[in-house]
Amino acid sequence: MRRALVLHHTQQLFILLAGLLAAPALVSAAPIPARGAAWAQACAACHGPDGQSQGAIPALDRLSPEDFRAAMQAFRTEERQGTVMNQIAKGLSETDVEAVTTYFATMQPRRQQ
């Protein structure tokens, strides 16, 4: 059982990293809404579709834009520890962070449910 769980998480991590490697090329010239949506797809590997995690990984759709930005900054400075989030946050530009923050802010009606 534990081996299957480790394999599952390893596969998710591989998908996430593959998406993150491809994402800069896909989103570098995209307008903010499209750029945010593209990054959100990479987030979905761990945080669930539209940031609606059902597991131990935090749900992004429940974070305010301010809390999302603060979390990304804390991961960048390593003030907050994560398994892969420190490296992911360091790889995002300010424009990327703002784009994905804006995207998840559009999930506001879902946060209130």
Percent of the chain with pLDDT over 70: 68
Residues 26, 54, 31: CA angle, nearest 5 degrees: 20
User: Which helix or strand (DSSP H or E) is residue 58 part of?
Assistant: none
Would you state the pLDDT for residue 6?
Answer: 46
Would you state the pLDDT for residue 32?
Answer: 72
CA distance 103 to 17: 20
Q: Are 57 and 47 in contact (CB under 8 A)?
A: yes
Residue among 74, 87, 77 at smallest CA distance from 46: 87
Domains in the chain: ranges and CATH: 2-111 (1.10.760.10)
Say what the pTM is.
Answer: 0.68
Task: Write out pLDDT tens, residues 45-102.
Answer: 999 988 988 888 999 988 999 999 999 999 999 999 988 999 999 999 999 999 999 9
Confidence of residue 5 (pLDDT cuts 50, 70, 90): very low
